[in-house]
Amino acid sequence: MTSPVANPDMTSTAIRGELRFNESMAEHNSWRAGGRAERFFIPADLDDLLVFLRTQTEANEPLLWVGLGSNLLVRDGGLSGTVICTRHRLKQMTLVGQGRVEVQAGVPCAHVAKFCAEQGWVGAEFLAGIPGTMGGALAMNAGAFGGETWDLVSRVTIANRLGHLRDRSPDDYQVGYRSVRGPENEWFMSCELALKEGDVTVSRTKIKGLLARRNETQPTNMPSCGSVFRNPEGDFSARLIEASGLKGYSIGGAQVSEKHANFIVNLGDASAADIESLLRFVQAEVMRLQGVQLVPEVKIVGCKPEEA
């Protein structure tokens, strides 16, 4: 199956998207905290993104890709290099065959779950519980309610630093729990999901139930990154954190959620330093009291103010 590959004019150097400088990253992550990006690019579409990669970036320049920013902490000292934001971009979804759905990287996971259900294909309902985009879900093998992203993936399309696209199979990656390892300097542009035929009504009901469960058990009305730590094998991070007496514990404007202990929420004025300090404190206390080393799911990037 051929993916919807872009065909940019390889001689063009003009970009059509928006390139910003000294952009506040607090506006582009779900914790609503953090420093500024040296450059921040919002592509017009996939073709424009490929032109930007080919003509407007340096070979060794740091690149950070951001969708909804739901699994990201940007330190207060900010970021060098360029952030590429696909939010509200790369948002096409297409039924490309029997049970095959092509999804671009900027599509929110919840939209993927709904689209697949409406098309009569089941298996993607759990994506409704992932508060990010498909690109981020692919990068970390995001999961919820017992399902994991790469269980559905039959093919991915990547872009490299030269602005070229290539299709890859799951065999090109080492995929584990919240972990994906593959070729360096490549980024996911889209994927093909393989689903099974099912009952639309049952699928919609399941999605509705999963969303209700998420709202009941998680602080969805407060700025957070989703789950902060991976679940240790055979246990749950939330249980370990609560058993350590840390539910509701705060540092500055950051607090371990009183609703779900594996969430750190921004009470309104948290700095990235507050959030990271609380994250490290929780790690240390759980290790001291429970003998378990918690591993963060969240990606921490940038420099501290004193390093900037």
Domain residue ranges in the chain: 18-85, 93-216, 222-307
Is it the case that residue 220 has pLDDT exceeding 70? yes
For 43, other C-beta atoms within 10 Å of its C-beta total: 23
**Confidence (pLDDT) at 198:** 86
For 93, other C-beta atoms within 10 Å of its C-beta total: 19
- The token pair that represents 157 in the structure block: 């399309």
For 141, other C-beta atoms within 10 Å of its C-beta total: 18
List the beta strands (DSSP E) in the chain: 18-24, 36-42, 63-66, 72-74, 79-85, 93-97, 100-104, 121-122, 143-144, 147-148, 153-160, 165-168, 174-176, 179-181, 186-194, 196-197, 250-251, 254-256, 264-266, 299-301
Contact indicator for 121, 101 with CB cutoff of 8 Å? yes
**Confidence (pLDDT) at 291:** 97
Hey, do 18-85 and 93-216 end up sharing a CATH topology, with the first three levels equal?
A: no
Determine the Cα–Cα distance for residues 199 and 137; give it in Å rounded to an integer.
25
Point out the residues that are catalytic: 178, 227, 297
Is domain 18-85 classified as CATH 1.10.10.10? no
- What is the chain's percent helix, strand, coil content, to nearest 5? 30, 30, 45
In CATH terms, the fold of domain 222-307 is 3.90.78
- The token pair that represents 182 in the structure block: 């593959």
List the beta strands (DSSP E) in 56-132: 63-66, 72-74, 79-85, 93-97, 100-104, 121-122
DSSP code, position 87: T
Is it the case that residue 81 has pLDDT exceeding 60? yes
Is domain 93-216 classified as CATH 3.40.50.12780? no
Is it the case that residue 262 has pLDDT exceeding 60? yes
Is it the case that residue 5 has pLDDT exceeding 50? no
Q: Alpha carbon of 251 to those of 148, 187, 264, 269, 276: distances in Å?
A: 32, 35, 10, 11, 10
pLDDT-above-70 percentage for the chain = 96
- Secondary structure of 114-161 as H, E, C letters: HHHHHCCEECCHHHHHCCCEHHHHHHHCCEECCEEHHHCEEEEEEEEC
| Nearest Cα to Cα of residue 130 among 226, 237, 252, 196 | 226
Q: How many CA atoms lie within 13 A of 11 on its CB side?
A: 0
The whole-model pTM stands at: 0.89
Is it the case that residue 37 has pLDDT exceeding 70? yes
**Confidence (pLDDT) at 13:** 72
Instruction: Express each pLDDT in 277-286 by its tens digit.
Output: 999 999 999 9
**Confidence (pLDDT) at 10:** 54
DSSP code, position 273: H
